[in-house]
Amino acid sequence: MSSVAVLTPESFAEHRSGLRDEDTAGGVPEDEAYIPTYLEAFPPLPEKGAPTEKSSEPSGAWSKIRPIKSSVITQVFHVPLEERRYKDNSQFGEGEESKVCLDIMQKTGAHIELSLAKDQGLSIMVTGKLDSVMKARKEIVARLQTQASATVTIPKEHHRFVIGKNGEKLLELELKTATKIQIPRPEDSSNQIKIAGTKEGIEKARHEILLISAEQDKRAVERINLEKAFHPFIAGAYNKLVQEVCLETGARINIPPPSVNKDEIIITGEKEPVAQAVARIRSIYEDKKRKTTTISVEVKKSQHKYIIGPKGNTLQEILDTTGVSVEMPALDSSSETIILRGEPDKLGAALTQVYAKAKSVMVAKVMAPAWLHRFIIGKKGQNISRITQQLPRVHIEFTDGDEKITLEGPTEEVEQAQAQIQEIIKDLLVRMDYTEVMIDQRFHRHLIGKNGANINRIKEQYKVLVRIPQDGDRSNLVRIEGDPQGVQLARKELLEMASRMENERTKDLIIEQRFHRTIIGQKGEKIKEVRDKFPEVIINFPDPSQKSDIVQLRGPKNEVEKCAKYLQKVIAELIENSYSISVPIFKQFHKNIIGKGGANIKKIREETNTKIDLPTENSNSEVILITGKKTNCEAARDRILAIQRELANIKEVEVSIPSKLHNSLIGAKGRLVRSIMEECGGVHIHFPSEGSGSDKVTIRGPMEEVEKARKQLLQLAEEKQINNYTAELQAKPEYHKFLIGRGGGNIRKVRDRTGARIIFPTTDDREVEVITIVGKEEAVKLAQKELELLIKNLDNVIEDVMVVDPKYHRHFVTRRGQVLREIAEEYGGVTVSFPRTGVQSDKVTLKGAKDCVEAAKKRILEIIEDLDAQVTLECVIPQKYHRSVMGAKGSKVQQITRDYDVQIKFPEREECSGMDLHLQENGDVSPEVELVPNKCDIITISGRKEKCEAARIALLALVPVTLDVDVPYDLHRYIIGQKGIGIRKMMEDYEVNISVPQPDQQSDVIKITGLVANVERAKQGLLERVKELQAEQEDRALRSFKLTISVDPKYHPKIIGRKGAVISQIRKDHDVNIQFPDKGDEHQDIISITGYELNTESAKDAILRIVADLEEMVSEDIKLDHRVHARIIGGRGKAIRKLMEEFKVDIRFPQPGSNDPDRVTVTGLPENVDNAVDHLLILEEEYMMDVTETETMAAYMKPPSRHEDDHRSPAKGFVVRDAPWNVPGNKAPDMSSAEDFPTFGAGITPKQMSAWGPKKF
């Protein structure tokens, strides 16, 4: 709905002249028409009246002053007993009512007082600001008064009037009546409004709603469609006629404005006035339609705006004076036809006025270089102001970046102004010059200097104007204007300054703050070396408190670059050297890694150039930390792990156990998992961190023990899922080993019989006596019973004697009684006493728990039996293999000793004579060697015969063999791998030594040396690797197939796609490499495709399909007004992208500064292009209406420069008549006098009397 805006000629003239209208009677300005008297301007205060006078009667001018209303109001209302919500309070003021009131006071800020009437009704007084009181009242009614509800039915279309704008009416109604009103939603068909609250409030709300509905029943809306061409006659000149109809009928009439192409006129109001207004409008329409005719005239398009006039005032003027309506074509239309519609006898006069208005103004153009425009205008517009003052009706317009100056106004005055401007241009061209220099934008602020010091000096020295672009312009162009000689001198100096600055550079380096101290060094020694190396560069580190990573370098460009590269190299080394790896190594192997006197660890540190930190001896940690370069750290880690592997056969496996069971498997303080680790030979079991959600549990250790631990963990997890019952019992720590038994034999029997798991405490546990039993309830109770019986027997201490032949005594007591200590630890702390040296006795005393004593006696007898059955065998192995058989630090031979319970002794190293040497190959010993062995080849094995034989076989199995494998020479480098990684991995995996011949030998034979089983495995692995490499060679040959196709270079960008998207997809889909020609290539149309033959063919077909599609495409150039381009493109190109996707075309807009800014190119299939072009033209037409209307409005909103000069008289200030100082004998007060106008707070000389009388304190 649109409303008619009424703008009279008088009001428009007032707007254009800056409110300079003068009163028509006498020509005196309105504010100067009347000068008040002194008493009127400054009325005296009312004198205090006699006691008999009524003080309430105002007197004099003060009676006109309106009293200020108080912002605080008070309301009192009553709640009857029957409507009180809380009636059973024993003591008034202490119950729920007072609590509710306190809560409401806090929420609303109003003050509430309660009082109880004789009839037990509640009187409530609310004080505060109006808004707070209304809110408080609503809350009180809702919470202290019983609520009722009612419904009121009114037509659905009246509901919106009850709600009001933004719900304001409804809120006001609820506050006023202290009720809650629920209005059905628009989609709900119900017309009933629900009201909840007190009876009184409901009645008030119901009454108000019915009043609103009744008021709407009286109103009517009428819509009539009348031809747009007759709307001006209905509205009348300056809307006078429509206003007259509105006043006569009381209806409201909305006529669409000229810019809106609608025929509909809307009349609203009460039914009868609306009917009257409709009849009147139809009468005017029918009359004009019958009497009027039209004529068409052609007027130049450029003159149309003068016929329209500011805001259409000229058209209104013609309509007012002649009664003829002038219909103008749209501003964006190329039509020059104007239609005059009116009564035939008045059309001639209207046509005369149209031509007069069209030719009343002349437009002229003056050409001048754009850089001269500022000088033509003059300082603060002096030159141009002089012309406009002489010729006030001429409007002069300068356009930025354009050489054209436009003059508009009466013909004679325009010609005079044109001549004056041309004179100024001629004079300026003679004595002014300019030049432009390109200076990098980053130097501009240095050219300007601090507070403009540099540029101001140049301006004053050379009498020139230097224009440096703003930072936001991103331009390097500096313009110098002024005296020709000064311009050249200023140019020379600016270029010299820029040249100097080009050589000086500031560079910011990002260096992590943690490295700053390292780069600076102790007492700045390291940074001093850098500064000495680059003396011309200033290096600034940020303050540590700033926590900044930016280090600034400043100095000559080349030196700064060199210094930056040097520092970056230093940083790279620091970053590289700060890499760290944590390596878990079994604690028992730490001493082997350290070596004798730290020899091993020192060697690893020096050779790998890393820092290696081992945990202290008394620490429980097994982690070794390696820090340095990544490659060096990895090399050091590999060497440390190799030492561990040599000492023990280490394996690592992962077990998947639900994370919810991890805590129960670890047990209280880790007891459960430690018991498994100890039972399984000290394997490492690592659970993921809590909250990670991972189910992976890692087990690392000797191969057999790892498998054993894995089975136990899985079994335990299964038990935990089925049933989880725990019991604890106590036993002295010295009994624990006996209860466990040798090799865990005793406890294993209990576990096998009962199915329960028994966990013993470690030395680190605080409660060293507590034994934990875990499993099913029945199994746990049975195991607990058995263990309690064993512990009870252990508490029964006895003393026993056994006979041991004295020849065996030495075996038990040597090495500080190690064998006896082992027996004591293993059998519950039993004490075994052998006779002292020199005493001839075979009696051995045992004291301890009965079961422990019996078990110890049995163990001693087993040892004696072993000593009786002990034999010594010889194993002949050539001395050159001894080191290999022994293993690193004797690890292999120690393992055999432990496994077979034997003693193995190697001969001393000595040189064997040449005649005694016998060749031994692949572990086979010749009969001659067996008959005549060399002493240096004989290894002795002591122990039980069957165990010695087994140990002998195990030793012979450790003798290495060498095997030759034929591998084509051209594959050797692939087998070795980058930096030997491949060959090292094979040697580690198969535990062999692989020797590859030197390149100069050109040999195919690779030698593998190691244990027989390992050598065979390594051979198979090597042959498999050869097969893989040969398959890769064949594959590379197949993949190297190359295909070329010729494609017109103009299609290359489309084939590549945006950011390479299209070509990347083709490469990915067909697994090929596609190469486009370089810029300088001779054949710019050749595209190369490399890959499998089949794939290259399919990729070629894909490219040719794209080309075929592109060849079908057409391009069409259309003209779209550049002013609508931005709207068509949309924010960040969203609109144009959507349009291109919708029509499947490519749309290109001209670049800024293009010769043809309106040309837009649309490319695609013919049908799609046609559809897209049609859509673009529709958009242009739609957007141009908005653009034209906006520009038209803007043109007439600009203040004119052609009005008559306003010769205003200087302001007279505030003037009054009959002032006291105008009386003869009096003088006007001196405003500068401190006596007449004293300053508050300022001291006054005591000698002078203040104008305000004596001071009072």
Contact 546, 494 (CB under 8 A): no
Task: Report the pLDDT averaged over residues 255-268.
Answer: 84
pLDDT score of 355:
82
User: Is 1143:1175 a contact under the CB 8 Å cutoff?
Assistant: yes
Residue from 1100, 1093, 1053, 1048 nearest 1074 by CA:
1100
Q: Please choose, from the candidates 219, 176, 223, the residue with its C-alpha nearest in 3D space to the C-alpha of residue 200.
A: 176
The pLDDT value given to residue 12 = 39
Of the candidate ranges 100-114, 636-650, 713-727, the one whose mean pLDDT is the lowest = 713-727
Write down the pLDDT at residue 1217. 73
- What are 328-378's pLDDT values in tens digits? 888 778 888 888 899 888 888 888 888 887 777 777 888 887 777 777 887
Query: What number is the average pLDDT over the span 1241-1254?
Result: 44
What would the pLDDT profile of 846-897 be if each residue is shown by its tens digit? 888 777 888 888 888 888 887 777 888 888 888 888 888 887 778 888 888 8
Partnered with residue 72 across adjacent β-strands are 129
Confidence of residue 413 (pLDDT cuts 50, 70, 90): confident
Quickly tell me which residue has 């209304």 as its tokens: 134
Mean pLDDT of 1224-1242: 61
- pLDDT, tens digit (0-9, with 9 covering 90-100), for 172-182: 888 888 888 99
Does residue 541 sit in helix, strand or coil? Answer: coil
953 vs 764, residue with greater confidence: 953
Above 80 in pLDDT, residue 911?
Answer: no
pLDDT average, residue stretch 1157-1162: 90
Cα torsion 606, 607, 610, 614: sign: negative
Q: Which residue spans within 811-960 are E strands per DSSP?
A: 831-833, 843-849, 870-876, 903-905, 938-944
Residue 1023 predicted with pLDDT over 80: yes
Each residue's pLDDT tens digit, 55-78: 444 444 444 455 555 678 888 877
Highest mean pLDDT among 48-52, 251-255, 884-888: 251-255
Q: Tell me: pLDDT of 1240 over 60.
A: no
Bigger pLDDT: 598 or 230?
A: 230
Q: Provide the Cα torsion 1227, 1232, 1236, 1241; round to 10°.
A: 180
The C-alpha atoms of residue 391 and residue 394 are separated, in whole angstroms, by: 6
pLDDT of residue 1195: 64
Check residue 1088 and give its pLDDT. Answer: 92
Q: Across all residues in the chain, what is the average pLDDT?
A: 78
pLDDT of residue 88: 60
Q: Decide: 644 and 589 in contact? Cβ < 8 Å.
A: yes
pLDDT in tens, 186-223: 888 888 899 988 878 888 888 888 888 877 777 777 88
Is 305's pLDDT higher than 80? no
1126 CA to centre of own chain: 29
pLDDT band at 89 (very low <50, low <70, confident <90, very high): low
Please state, in angstroms and rounded to a whole number, the distance separating the CA atoms of residues 901 and 365.
Answer: 119
Contacts 24+ apart (CB under 8 A), 430-435: 431/483, 432/372, 432/375, 432/481, 432/482, 432/483, 432/484, 433/481, 433/482, 433/483, 433/484, 433/487, 434/371, 434/479, 434/480, 434/481, 434/482, 434/487, 435/479, 435/480, 435/487, 435/488, 435/491
What percent of the chain lies above the pLDDT cut of 90?
1
| Other residues' Cβ atoms within 10 Å of the Cβ of residue 825 | 14
Q: Six-digit token pair at 680?
A: 């399984």
**CA separation for the pair 660, 561 (Å, rounded):** 58
Which of the listed ranges 13-27, 808-822, 870-884 does the model predict with the highest average pLDDT?
Answer: 870-884
pLDDT band for position 1181 (cuts 50, 70, 90)? confident
Amino acid at 338: I
Lowest-pLDDT choice from 715-719, 968-972, 1008-1012 = 715-719
Q: Which secondary-structure segment (H or E) carries 654?
A: strand 650-656
What confidence score (pLDDT) does residue 63 get? 47
Which residue's entry shows tokens 């897209």?
A: 1172
In terms of Cα–Cα distance, which of 834, 818, 838 is closest to 826? Answer: 818
Is the pLDDT confidence value at 673 over 80?
no
Percentage of the chain with pLDDT > 70? Answer: 85
Give yes or no for residue 3 having a pLDDT over 50. no
Query: What average pLDDT does range 151-159 have in this prediction?
Result: 85
Regarding pTM above 0.75, the answer is no
**CA 1027 to CA 649: how far, in whole Å?**
30
pLDDT at 919 over 50: no
Residue 1090: pLDDT band (50, 70, 90) is very high
SS3 1042: strand
User: Is the pLDDT confidence value at 1175 over 80?
Assistant: yes
CB neighbours of residue 1006 within 10 Å: 23
Supply the pLDDT for residue 303.
77
Predicted pLDDT of residue 408: 81
